[in-house]
Amino acid sequence: MRICTASPLAGISEWTTLVSKGKLSFSLLIALLIVGLFVLFIFTIAMGRYDLGAGDVFFILLSRIFPFLQIEPTWTAVSEVVVLQIRLPRIIGAMLIGAALATAGATYQGLFRNPMASPDFLGVTSGASIGAALAIIMERSFTEVQIFAFVGGLVATLITTSIPKIMRNDSTIMLILSGIVVSGLLRSVMSFMRYIADPQTALPSIVFWQMGSLANVTPQEVMAISIPMLICFVVIICISWWINIMSLGELQSAVLGANYKFYRRVGIVASTVLTVLAVAIAGEVGWVGLAIPHFGRLLVGVDNKRLMPVCILTGAIFMLIVDTFARSLTTAEIPLGVLTGFVGAPFFMLLIYRQKTRLG
């Protein structure tokens, strides 16, 4: 392998050439990502303040998935509780949320013909924050905060998508403008809520919620989000090739006989559900939905049919790594949104650096 020190992304650029020149097939890349994700999955469960061996983790999971193997426990009961009750839900949650945000971001970018679109493009995140803040101010339980956030995110998206209908202008640019207006307005509402929130109790909770965290995620919540998320992944993969055509605009779609409005609606609904579920569980987690699709394009090109599976896998891998840092880097939890920003923003800059010839 050629060693190149000139570009900080030399490794990635070699990968890209490998995939695009057909030397590394797409299926092999997917296989490698799946293996990588699985290895990370086992090792990140082992990592943390309570020390576990990767072997123990593997056999604990194996004994649960295939009880008929009757594996003799060589681990302590505490290890089993840590693996199954504490780390496993959190790690599955992290993978789902990373995959969801990356896929929603890629879908929005394709549908809105805008490489700068992110999952909170239509005001989902701002709406969810208001929902959560409302529940916190009303001193509701943690689960209710999540439900309020979910509803808030949906309501915000509904407002954003209704404005173009009220204005009788169904163009995509109108929807983008509507998203900007609604997000802006909701951010002001959010500031107001923070202003009136009790600075001793509610305010810190709101602020912490907004920074994003998976610290309190429960197995039930992960179960609750996983099925709708999986359905949305399947839907997006089914329309992924058509998103290519949508990205050429409404006129080109019509000329090719593709129902632009139908695919736009399906894409928006699926991406919104993915985003709102992710945000309801984890709070505001920025940069993943913007940066991961760009990283995916660097690996396999812009064809959404290839991009979506890659986004699901790399989004999961990215979030798994970041969340492991969040829970084990220091003795206290580091907010997830803070870390994704620290990692995501410079990473995005590197991606832009790599694409510099194509900008401007």
Positions in the binding site for other proteins (CB under 8 A)? 20, 110, 113-115, 238-242, 244-245, 247-249, 251-252, 254-259, 262, 297, 301-303, 305, 358
Q: Nearer to other proteins by C-beta: 113 or 187?
A: 113
CB of 264 to other proteins, least distance (A): 14
Q: Nearer to other proteins by C-beta: 126 or 253?
A: 253
CB of 7 to other proteins, least distance (A): 19
CB of 209 to other proteins, least distance (A): 34
Q: Nearer to other proteins by C-beta: 170 or 198?
A: 170
Q: Nearer to other proteins by C-beta: 54 or 237?
A: 237
Q: Nearer to other proteins by C-beta: 240 or 324?
A: 240
Q: Nearer to other proteins by C-beta: 199 or 360?
A: 360
Distances in Å between the alpha carbon of 232 and those of 25, 103, 154, 287?
26, 10, 15, 21
- The angle that helices 124-137 and 172-196 make with each other, rounded to 10 degrees, is 20
The two structure tokens encoding residue 236: 């997006």
Residue type, 213: S
Task: Phi first, then psi: give them for residue 78, nearest 5 degrees.
Answer: -60, -45
Q: Nearer to other proteins by C-beta: 231 or 329?
A: 231
Distances in Å between the alpha carbon of 309 and those of 18, 33, 48, 233?
18, 10, 29, 9
Query: CA dihedral defined by 142, 145, 150, 152, rounded to 10 degrees?
Result: 180
CB of 168 to other proteins, least distance (A): 15
* Tally of helices (H runs) and strands (E runs) in the chain: 15, 0
CB of 258 to other proteins, least distance (A): 5
Provide the terminal-to-terminal Cα distance of the chain, rounded to the nearest Å: 32
Residue indicated by tokens 């929130």: 197
Burial pattern 285-297, b for ≥16 Cβ within 10 A else e, equals bbbbbbbbbbbbb
Of 204, 202, 199, 210, the closest CA to residue 335 belongs to 210
Distances in Å between the alpha carbon of 338 and those of 122, 127, 191, 232, 287?
22, 20, 19, 27, 10
CB of 57 to other proteins, least distance (A): 37
CB of 8 to other proteins, least distance (A): 21
Q: Nearer to other proteins by C-beta: 85 or 171?
A: 171
CB of 275 to other proteins, least distance (A): 21
Of 312, 273, 271, 272, the closest CA to residue 295 belongs to 312
Task: Phi first, then psi: give them for residue 215, nearest 5 degrees.
Answer: -60, -35
CB of 119 to other proteins, least distance (A): 18
Q: Nearer to other proteins by C-beta: 113 or 194?
A: 113
How far is residue 113 CA from its own chain's centroid? 20
